[in-house]
Structure 1
């Protein structure tokens, strides 16, 4: 029961941040699971199982508040699905941690750029297709392989390319459900076909998964309203600050300082 309540709190806090700023549920939840000794592959599978419920709730909240750019959604989601499926396949086959320094550097640079950009006039223009497709594919891949990454990669990338903060955050949250579904199905196929030899006993994490689901679903409705009402400059500064903190934390972990 204590584990369930702990992860319910983690899920609530993580989803509150994720729904409002378009990132961090997967990263926060995965980091907490890893701290409890769960393997990277099991942590990713557990988080994506929980996200099937939290992303559906979050996407519904953003849909209700009309925070979704449907043209961007349909340009982004297919590439995220492809990248996520490939990332889940790779995670059950090899160690994908070698990419962490590159991703961390990218996030730190984009986070700094967003903070600087918040002090200038904020444009609201369609994001070019040349940006959307690779962001979706890379974000989906890293989300599955790293247990979190869809929001940090895609949200920051789209905002950096000039997307309107409210609609970028709403669209990224809504499309995340489809990416999560594809990743979860890939994990399931890997288990059923025997491709994932180190699957172990995933049922040991059921209490943590249930806590993440309950906490995340309770927090999801709040974020849609926050994004709708918060000024774009504040959203950019919060996203930029959060992404730089996440990059710093990941760097410390990689170097063995945390």
Structure 2
């Protein structure tokens, strides 16, 4: 029991490091790690969402105080998202472990691929802006993202954030603040759905408390990491971990039941791609830093030339 609680504390710690550094993937990371230590899929998602009630509340208050929240967006995306999360939680609760584990792993695997590709290829680019933001777009987006978040144990940020960034109508800081704040509604709705589907006797509240405690401890460290570890590199590393872990779950499931040699080949291939992605992210990060340094020097030289007095 003590060993399990220590593992859970480390899971919460690691997940918050990721989320605090990237602005997403707390649910994806923590659910992936909970599945890896043998937790029931529905119980894993329920545990994560209960812990997220505390973490998202704290995050929402912080964003509100820094004026990073668009309350109209929260109402339009958060309420449908809560409905989707409730539906996803009750759906997942109704599935057997043998069926639920592969379904959750497929969703997490897709999100892991998205995180790996997004941060490796594009980093934190804000260039994909300009699409019109329509009211009829936000409700379906929230419904879909909420459903994926509950059934996959995470996904509100990875689905919602890039979609709103692409709208071009909301400043990036308010996109992140609004998504983080509205996730409080998603966590509550999903938790209620799991209570309805699982019952409170199937949820270990000690696990929830330890997971939450690990996240609280990691929060200030994550803030430090944001300043010292490039999100592009961290995103590539985390995406690869999620892909590797959920591929392992799928290959060992009753759906696939792959032979040992096939599993080994798959793990080696993923590891090679993962290492290449991290190396590429490191190279691109250094290249951009060098380019920024050159541009800064050129700008300073132009400034000095402009300030030099003109000969009489």
TM range (shorter): 0.7 to 0.9
Residues in 2 aligned to 1:245 and 1:181: alpha-carbon distance in whole angstroms = 29
The answer to which of 180-189 and 87-96 deviates more is 87-96
1:195 counterpart residue number: none
Residues in 2 aligned to 1:208 and 1:120: alpha-carbon distance in whole angstroms = 37
Shift in Å at residue 132 of structure 1?
2.2
The answer to which of 27-36 and 205-214 deviates more is 205-214
**What is the number of residues matched between the two proteins?**
245
1:180 pairs with 2:176: no
| Secondary structure of 2:94's aligned partner | coil
1:208 counterpart residue number: 207
1:87 pairs with 2:107: no
Kept in 2, the 8 Å contact 1:131–1:161? The answer is no
Structure of greater relative contact order (alpha carbons < 8 Å, 6+ residues apart): 1
1:43 counterpart residue number: 44
RMSD: 3.6
The superposition leaves residues 157-214 of structure 1 with CA deviations (integer Å, 9 ceiling, x where unpaired) of: 323444543222211111111111011112222345xxxxxx8x535x4333221111
Using the size of structure 2 for normalisation, the TM-score is 0.64
Residues in 1 aligned to 2:14 and 2:84: alpha-carbon distance in whole angstroms = 27
Shift in Å at residue 79 of structure 1?
1.2
Equivalent residue for 1:167, pick from 168, 174, 179: 174
The superposition leaves residues 129-151 of structure 1 with CA deviations (integer Å, 9 ceiling, x where unpaired) of: 34322221111101111211212
Shift in Å at residue 125 of structure 1?
7.6
Residues in 1 aligned to 2:59 and 2:240: alpha-carbon distance in whole angstroms = 23
Residues in 2 aligned to 1:169 and 1:19: alpha-carbon distance in whole angstroms = 12
Shift in Å at residue 100 of structure 1?
5.9
Residues in 1 aligned to 2:115 and 2:7: alpha-carbon distance in whole angstroms = 32
Residues in 2 aligned to 1:244 and 1:132: alpha-carbon distance in whole angstroms = 26
Shift in Å at residue 73 of structure 1?
1.4
Assess, with a 3 A threshold, how the Cα gap between structure 1 residues 103 and 11 changes in structure 2: closer, same or farther. Answer: closer
Residues in 2 aligned to 1:127 and 1:211: alpha-carbon distance in whole angstroms = 40
Q: Give the ranges of 4+ consecutive aligned residues of structure 1 lying more than 6 Å apart after TM superposition.
A: 221-227
Equivalent residue for 1:248, pick from 243, 247, 271: 243
Assess, with a 3 A threshold, how the Cα gap between structure 1 residues 244 and 68 changes in structure 2: closer, same or farther. Answer: same
Kept in 1, the 8 Å contact 2:8–2:210? The answer is yes
2:78 counterpart residue number: 77
Residues in 1 aligned to 2:186 and 2:126: alpha-carbon distance in whole angstroms = 33
Shift in Å at residue 37 of structure 1?
1.3
The answer to which of 113-122 and 162-171 deviates more is 113-122
Residues in 1 aligned to 2:202 and 2:158: alpha-carbon distance in whole angstroms = 27
Residues in 2 aligned to 1:238 and 1:175: alpha-carbon distance in whole angstroms = 27
Query: 5+ residue gaps in structure 1?
Result: 193-198
1:58 counterpart residue number: 59
1:146 pairs with 2:152: yes
2:133 counterpart residue number: 127
Shift in Å at residue 32 of structure 1?
1.7
Kept in 2, the 8 Å contact 1:49–1:209? The answer is yes
Assess, with a 3 A threshold, how the Cα gap between structure 1 residues 91 and 190 changes in structure 2: closer, same or farther. Answer: same
Query: 5+ residue gaps in structure 2?
Result: 253-262, 268-312
Using the size of structure 1 for normalisation, the TM-score is 0.75
